[in-house]
Amino acid sequence: MRPYLFVVLLLLAIGFFARTMYAFGRAVARGNADPRPRLDQIPARIASVLIYFVGQKKVAELGPMHLSSRHHLLIFWGFLVIQLGTLELAVSGIAPGLSVQALLPWVLAKPILMSIDLMNLVVLTMICWAVFRRIVIRPNLIEMNMDAGVILGAIASLMLTHLLYHGAHGAMAFMEAGQYPQAAPVSGIIAKALTGLGPDQLHTIEAAAYWLHMVIVLTFLNYLPYSKHIHLLGALPNIFTRNLSKQKMDLPMLDLEDENQWGVGRFEQFSWKSLLDTYACTECARCSNYCPAYNTEKNLSPMQLIHDIRYEMLERDSLYNEKSELEKQIPDLSGADLAAIKGQIEVVDKTIEDMPPMVGGRIAEDTLWACTTCGACQEVCPVFIEHPAKIIQMRQNLVLEQEKAPAELARTYRNIERQSNPWGISKGDRMKWAEGLDVPLIDDVEKPEYILWVGCAGAFDNRIIKQTKAMVKLLKAAKVDYAVLGHKEECTGDPARRTGNEMLFQMQAETNVETLNSVGATKIVTSCPHCLHTLKNDYPQFGGNFEVIHHTQLLAHLLKTGDLQPVKNVSEKVVYHDSCYLGRWNDEYDAPRSIVDAVTPEGGRVEVARSRQHGFCCGAGGGRMFMEEDGPRINEDRTDELLASGAKTLAVACPFCNIMVADGVKARNEDESVEVLDVSELLVAAMEAEAPLVQLTRRKDKPDAEVSAPE
């Protein structure tokens, strides 16, 4: 009788699960085509699954914030092993007598059975630790709520029922053969404890443990899609279809003539891959705990953002499907029945209409504007969810379709449109920085090896002009063949693209690509990581295919070849701050450090905890450079960490970082004793025996002039 009951239960559970999976898949299928290939390079994708899903590589990584989740490794791996035991029980429910021991020789069966038995205890122990951690230690955003309690309780129950089943089975085997199971040390202990019971009692315990175990398994299977553990179903396909290119943030080029797709305002305007991301979230909270906006009390939690997109998708898809099913009945109805169906459709339409919009409703505007697009969330995500691209696409909807943008950004857009720079300074002043420096212009140089892309900050901000001059001095010393575009150079459009003004960005991109192609540019060097990222990764969409490098990469090369030779150390102790757009987005961590090492004594470069791929943003990315910040400031949070290193020289490799960290130093009243310098300025100072280009202590009576922002 048991096999028949089990088959019925199994079919019902699988049928309900398949129905749920169909509905969830249908919702994802409403998304747009993804611009990236997601099913190419199959061997590499299989390797990703083995490394990041089976191997749990990212979960095993321990970042500077000590968000250790390593007990999850044992739970996950143990759960995988134990599924072999559950499969054995399921098979025996259909075909009694079939077991690992019956199918395999003992030399193979014994280690399998022993691993299953021991892993039951390991997982049970880790579940106890997980409950203790949530209730007592209470890490940020990791709560002991009802859903977590159900999941942890279900897993613990599976372990206990599995051990109890084998314990009772072992006790009966002892009664029959006088020997306990040889490959079940944990179940064997339980078997010994049950030996005093009679055969009927042992049989009852075995049967109860079996049915309870299988009911929990099948219920757990169908509860998963509606719980936080949906990632057990979504993580594998999400890792398999992850971005394999070196370009980490690849925004699709908007067709501005298609007014139905100006950014993402509805869930179905995301790509199917972006929607699949929402099923993969493990709720580990790493993304939020590493987010600079969240860490400074802004209304942005990347984890919650992903959840909100999923809730929006599932709720609306359910209503869309309900309407579709009702509409299918219309051709076969007439009279009162037809009127009734149409009435139901009107109710569904009204429900959809009354729902708040996704962008500006479920997901608040200030949530989207808080993001610095630093990529810290995406970097630490164990299942490769791409948060920043989604935020930028929703910003596009706010700016282009809803015509909503903070006042500061509206002014920035006008400045770029009128003067070709975010500050709104006359474009006729773009080359003032070069007065008296004998800087070669592209009109006067035939096919130089490099175009030096100065950037708007490098041309207009009085503080950043110093590092531009330092770079020019280094290029001249190394006899590098280069030229600048002069007045032909315009803003790359980075502030516009990262804040959602794709229309303005495309205008800037088309103009700059045309200019660069017209002068035959092939290699570009820039001191601004934001310009670097845009020229290198965005401009190919517009026919701009150039070799773009950062100035630290060129300077590191020139040091290595001996074309630049420092003659002295400039500081005893230097701490380097990683730029998000140079480091995380473009994988360059070593070049700026090699320059710092070249101008300091051995051991002179110090590191802070949040560095390299876990570096903490200065707060200027994603257009935030040109926006006001309420509450605790990101740049001051970062500056505090840099100052705590004890270094008197804070090295940077980004104009925005330079400005933001320098402001942080001023806010902490440390600008008398601590200097913020670009690595190029450090190198120039190290090459000059007597009169360095930069003064390492700022004079109080001659502070740097600040750039105004006229409209």
Q: State the residue range of the domain holding 117.
A: 69-226
SS3 category, 451: strand
> Is there a domain that residue 26 lies in?
no
**Number of domains observed in the structure of the chain:** 2
**What percentage of the chain reaches a pLDDT higher than 70?**
95
The confidence score (pLDDT) of residue 87 equals 87
For residue 648, being part of any structural domain is answered with: yes
Q: Residue 399 carries which DSSP code?
A: I
Domain final position from 211, 226, 241: 226
Q: What is the mean pLDDT of residues 622-648?
A: 95
Mean pLDDT of the chain, nearest integer: 90
pLDDT band at 318 (very low <50, low <70, confident <90, very high): very high
Give dist(CA 658, CA 677) in Å, integer. Answer: 7
CA–CA gap between residue 10 and residue 226 (Å, rounded): 19
How would residue 68 be classed by pLDDT, with cut points 50, 70 and 90? Answer: low
What is the side-by-side strand order in the sheet with 605-606?
605-606, 574-576, 649-652, 675-678
Taking each helix axis from N to C end, the angle separating 146-177 and 199-223, rounded to the nearest 10 degrees, works out to 150
Question: What's the full length of the chain, in residues?
Answer: 711
Separation of alpha carbons 577 and 612, rounded Å? 9
Is 523 a residue whose pLDDT tops 80?
A: yes
Contact yes or no for 419/404 (Cβ under 8 A): no
Q: Is 576 helix (H, G, I), strand (E, B) or coil?
A: strand
What is the distance between the alpha carbons of residues 353 and 470, in angstroms, rounded to a whole number? 59
Q: What is the DSSP letter of 678?
A: E
**Is residue 477 exposed (0-12), middle (13-18) or buried (19+ Cβ within 10 Å)?**
middle
pLDDT band at 351 (very low <50, low <70, confident <90, very high): very high
pLDDT of residue 184: 85
For the residues 630-647, what does the mean pLDDT come to? Answer: 96
Angle subtended at Cα 572 by Cα 657 and Cα 641, rounded to the nearest 5 degrees: 40
Walk across the sheet containing 547-550 and list its strands: 482-483, 450-453, 523-526, 547-550
Which SS3 state, helix, strand or coil, does residue 549 take? Answer: strand
**Is the pLDDT assigned to residue 97 strictly greater than 80?**
no
Token pair for 283: 């709720």
Question: pLDDT tens, 167-183?
Answer: 998 898 888 777 777 78
Is residue 571 a contact partner of residue 696, using CB atoms and an 8 Å limit? Answer: yes
Strand partners, 650: 575, 676
Spell out the residues 6+ positions from residue 100 whose beta carbon is closer than 8 angstroms to its own. 84, 88, 109, 112, 113
Please give the backbone phi and psi of residue 489, each rounded to the nearest 5 degrees, phi first.
Answer: -80, 140
Give the percent of the chain with pLDDT over 90.
73
Q: Which one of 198, 226, 254 terminates a domain?
A: 226
Q: Is residue 693's pLDDT more than 80?
A: no
3-state helix/strand/coil string of 369-387: HCCCCCCHHHHHCCCCCCH
> Is 274 contained in some domain?
no
> In which band, very low, low, confident or very high, does the pLDDT at 88 lie, cut at 50, 70 and 90?
confident
Give dist(CA 629, CA 333) in Å, integer.
Answer: 59
* 383-395 residue pLDDT tens: 999 999 999 999 9
3-state secondary structure of 618: coil
Domain assignment present for 394:
no
Q: Is 678 exposed, middle or buried (0-12, 13-18, 19+ CB in 10 A)?
A: buried
Residue with tokens 């072999």: 84
pLDDT at residue number 298:
96
Best CA proximity match to 466, nearest among 599, 655, 648, 650: 655
Q: Which residue has the higher pLDDT, 709 or 472?
A: 472
pLDDT at 706: 42
Q: Residues 154, 224: contact at Cβ < 8 Å?
A: no
Mean pLDDT, residues 541-560 = 96
Task: Kindly tell me if the per-residue pLDDT of 694 is higher than 60.
Answer: no
Tokens representing 325 are: 């099913």
Closest by CA to 114, choosing from 27, 184, 28, is 184
Last residue of a domain, one of 196, 211, 226: 226
Mean pLDDT of the region 618-631: 94
User: Is it the case that residue 697 has pLDDT exceeding 60?
Assistant: no
Q: Is 210 exposed, middle or buried (0-12, 13-18, 19+ CB in 10 A)?
A: buried
Q: CA-CA distance, 397 to 359, in Å (whole number)?
A: 8
Residue-wise pLDDT for 52-65, tens only, equals 999 999 888 866 66
- In this structure, what DSSP letter does residue 443 have? G
Q: Which alpha helices (DSSP H) does 461-581 contain, by range?
A: 462-477, 494-498, 502-518, 529-533, 551-561
Q: What does the radius of gyration of the chain's CA atoms come to, in whole angstroms?
A: 31
Q: What pTM value is reported for the model?
A: 0.90
Provide the Cα torsion 416, 421, 425, 429; round to 10°. -130
In a domain, 350, yes or no: no
What are 548's strand-pairing partners?
Answer: 524
